[in-house]
A and B are shown apart, each in its own frame.
Chain A
Amino acid sequence: MRPVSSIIEEVRSEARLIRTFRLDRDLDPKPGQYLMLWIRGVDEIPMSFSGPDSITVQSVGQATEALFKMGAGSSVGLRGPLGNGFTLKGERILLIGGGVGSAPLAFLGEKARSKGLTVTSLLGFRSKEDIIFQERFEALGQVLITTDDGSYGIAGRASAGLKELSLFDFDQIYICGPEMMMWDVISRTREHGAKTQACINRYFKCAAGICGSCCLDPDGTRVCLEGPVITADRLLESEFGRYRRGPTGEKGPCRG
């Protein structure tokens, strides 16, 4: 598909270096799906949906910095929605978010709530100033917040909040955040791996399942097409949490 032109209707600051961009089109995405956002003249980058017509972006590099210079009325190109999103299952669900990775979970939680599911959220942030979507999550049900520096909620990483919950109470668990945060959680909760859906990140180039830059070891799963949502039991058997390939295809450490 050619990129579709779209106007940014609204830009909202959520926290330091995190903004939500509301677009003039509802692409009817499933939570966990993503779009390829073309910032003309700069690059095309993958972004998860934080709502049916919005993306929530952390400024981390050249393309996102260029996006942060754009205001309401600016035009971008869109390809999507792409990939396999989250699948809602059961009656009681747990959302585990880390940083800006909480954004697709807020979208998922709202879908779940509208279907009558009971939603509990465990969200981890670096610091009080980094918290996003607290009100959105609180509107869904019980919320536990952790901060690495202890400036709000439970002190520690997201996994510190696991002690407050019994994962057996949940029919399905959804997780999205920095890779090491997700690894920390799923490697401590192995017995729940089959019911844990993780939205992960790899280097996407084509976003069409043919270039091979995002393939996971050892089975060659194409994350851009067959993911980005993959169950934790499969991730525990993969390269996830141990290494990842960068733009050149060379293996490097998992950051974050």
Chain B
Amino acid sequence: MPSLSIHAGGLDLANPVLLAAGILGTTGASLCRAARAGAGGVVTKSVGSTPREGHPGPCIVAVQGGLLNAMGLPNPSYRHFQEEIDAGRRSGVPVIASIFGSSPAEFAQIARALQADAFELNLSCPHAEKYGSELGRYPDMVESVTGAVKAAADVPVWVKLTPNTADILELGLAAQRAGASAVVAINTLKAMAIDIETGYPILGNRFGGLSGPAIKPVAVRSVYDLASQLEIPVIGVGGISSWEDAVEMIMAGAKAVQVGTALQEGYGIFEKIALGLQNYLERKSMTLEDLCGLAWRMQH
């Protein structure tokens, strides 16, 4: 069988299908469960510098083709999170700690305090005031946050980008300039849903982020643009729910992919995607490397 193991973003991964940030990543036990189910790596729930309870409910709404969420970055703060990371690392797969802050210094403070296999900088959550995409939509800020974490941490730094911008490539270039080991694209698209019985926005936060199959074409295009221009690897995320989706994302230029919303179907999704990918590579007599960025080479 063709090998699925890869080296991407400074990490050795047994396979390129990872658990995305914010999904079943609050506890070490839950990270281990994803690892046991076949994830090649796991990204934690984002942690910040102070405990947050998140937004009032409803926190999710199922919409056509996806899911809207506004969790609001609930987390116990990095001071209470090392034990969850440590428990997750005992699974044997790399644990990537997702972190957020409102300034380069706050990001660096967290990165200095946590031990993980890599950091993923949440510069893209679309629904938390002062955090996420409120910083991450500015290339200068992406560059200074990335640079601050690079200086504070001795592990690879991944930067998760927001699609809620006119030009995601600018953000990717900024991360690369500051020394990021990889960019992760994309976070959710800013969106909302309204209860037509009463007119109330359904989410407690009024608006949130859209994930799931509906955003996959946006993610594919973003990854395509980034991967064809950047020298650092791109991790593709956004609406992947089958091996076909993973193949498409890798053809767009992703070195690895992350799965989030599709976990609704259950933990079997990791094995299903990895196995499908492996069968595909065998049928096509290709390697992952052959597949990566194939779409750039196909010209009309």
Binding site for B on A (CB under 8 A): 1-3, 5, 36, 38, 40-45, 75, 77, 79, 205-213, 215-220, 222, 245-251
Contact = CB atoms under 8 A, between A and B. Distances in A.
Across the A-B interface, give the 7 residue pairs with the lowest CB-CB distance, nearest first. Answer: A44-B57, A250-B76, A220-B33, A247-B53, A212-B26, A5-B197, A220-B29
Given A2-B202, A44-B204, A215-B29, A208 B60 contact: yes
B30 A215 contact: yes
Among B58, B76, B204, residue most surrounded by chain A Cβ atoms (within 10 Å): B58
Interface string B129-170: 000000000000000000000000000000000000000000
Nearest to A205: B59
Contacts of A213: 26, 74
A211 B71 contact: yes
Contacts of B24: 210-212, 215, 220, 222
B25 interface: yes
Pick from A209, A213, A249 the residue with the most CB of B within 10 Å: A249
Given A45-B57, A222-B30, A249-B76, 4 more contacts: A5-B198, A77-B58, A205-B57, A248-B53
Nearest to A77: B195
B25 A3 contact: no
B53 A44 contact: no
Given A38-B57, A205-B74, A215 B26 contact: yes
Interface size grouping (class) on chain B: 35 or more
11 contacts: A2-B61, A3-B195, A205-B57, A206-B69, A206-B71, A208-B60, A210-B24, A215-B24, A247-B53, A249-B80, A250-B51
Q: Is the interface of A mostly helix, strand, loop or mixed?
A: loop
Contact of A210 (B23, B75, B77, B80): B23
Most chain B CB inside 10 Å of its own CB: which residue of A1, A205, A222? A205
A67 B58 CA distance: 15
Nearest to B261: A210
B179 interface: no
Given A213-B26, A217-B27, A220-B33, A3 B204 contact: no
Contact of B198 (A75, A209, A246): A75
A43 B202 CA distance: 10
Contact of A219 (B26, B29, B77, B193): B29
Contacts of B204: 43-44
A163 to B, nearest CB: 36
A249 B195 contact: no
Interface string B32-60: 11000000000001000001111011111
Nearest to B51: A248
Interface of B: 22-30, 32-33, 45, 51-54, 56-63, 67, 69, 71, 74-77, 80, 193, 195, 197-198, 200, 202, 204, 260-261, 263-264
Nearest to A41: B200
B74 A43 contact: no
Nearest to B32: A220
B71 A215 contact: no
Contacts of A220: 24, 27, 29-30, 32-33
Contacts of A248: 51-54, 74-77
Nearest to B56: A43
Nearest to B79: A250
Which of A3, A36, A207, A212 is most buried by chain B, counting CB atoms within 10 A of its CB?
A212
A209 B26 contact: no
A104 B67 CA distance: 30
A115 B24 CA distance: 39
A98 to B, nearest CB: 26
A248 B139 CA distance: 30
Contact of B27 (A45, A205, A215): A215
Nearest to A46: B57
A36 B62 CA distance: 13
A211 to B, nearest CB: 6
A218 B25 CA distance: 14
B76 A1 contact: no
Contacts of B260: 210
A209 B264 contact: yes
Contacts of A40: 195, 198, 200
Contacts of B77: 248, 250
B103 to A, nearest CB: 21
A83 to B, nearest CB: 14
Given A210-B264, A213-B74, A249 B26 contact: yes
